[in-house]
Amino acid sequence: MASYNEGKKEVVIWICDHVPEGGTILDVGACDGRWADFIHLIDQDLAVDGVEIFAPNVWMWRLWERYRSITIGDIEDLHYEHYDMVIFGDVLEHMDVEKAQRVLAYAAEHATDYVIGIPFEYPQDEIYGNKWETHLQPDLTPEIFDERYPGHELLIRPLPNYAYYHRRKE
C-alpha cells in the first residue's frame, strides 16, 4: 500500500485534461480510493470505476462510496469494453513481467490512454496480511522499465526512485 504523493497532483490534473467530458476511468489497484478522491476534486463528472484484488481494502476504505463501481478481483480477469483512461498506480511491480505485459497489452487495446505509476528498485514483502503487496519486480529501474515495457512516454519523475508513464492508443 506504500504510494508516493509526489507528482500525483500533476498527474491527476494531466489525467483530467486528457479525459473527455463525462469520460470513464478505471483505477486498477484502488486500495484506499486516493485516485478517485483526487480526480473528483477536479472533475465530478468523470465516471471512475475501481478494481481491487484485496477485499479487506474495499471494506476498510468504503470504496463503494468513492467509485461508480468497484470490482473485487484480479485485473487480468476483468474484461472491459473501453475506458478513456486506465490508471495503474503502484500496480505493475506486484505482477511478474509476463502478467504485467499481458495486462498492459489488454489496456492498450481497450483504453484510449493509460497511466503507470512505478517505483524503482523497491523490494517489498507482504504487508498487513496482503500477499499481493509483494513486489515481484523489485529490480525495476528506468532502463529495465523501458526494456520490459517499450513504447511508453515519461510523464513526470517526481523522485529519483519513482516515475509516471503513459501510453496513448494509436
Q: Do residues 119 and 145 make contact, with C-beta atoms less than 8 angstroms apart? A: no
Burial of 2 (0-12, 13-18, 19+ CB in 10 A): exposed
Backbone angles phi, psi at 92, to 5 degrees: -60, -35
Q: Over the stretch 129-162, which tens digit does the pLDDT of each residue have?
A: 999 999 999 999 999 999 999 999 999 999 999 9
> What would the pLDDT profile of 66-113 be if each residue is shown by its tens digit?
999 999 999 999 999 999 999 999 999 999 999 999 999 999 999 999
pLDDT tens-place string over residues 37-59: 999 999 999 999 999 999 999 99
Domain boundaries, the chain: 8-168
- Going by the DSSP 8-state scheme, the letter that residue 21 receives in this structure is T
Biggest alpha carbon distance in the chain? 40
Confidence (pTM): 0.96
The residues near 132 (Cβ < 8 Å, ≥ 6 apart) are 53, 54, 94
- The residue behind cell 505482477 is 95
Alpha-carbon gap, residue 72 to 70, rounded angstroms = 7
CATH of domain 8-168: 3.40.50.150
Which tens digits make up the pLDDT trace of 9-41?
Answer: 999 999 999 999 999 999 999 999 999 999 999
Nearest to 111 by CA among 85, 92, 136, 137: 85
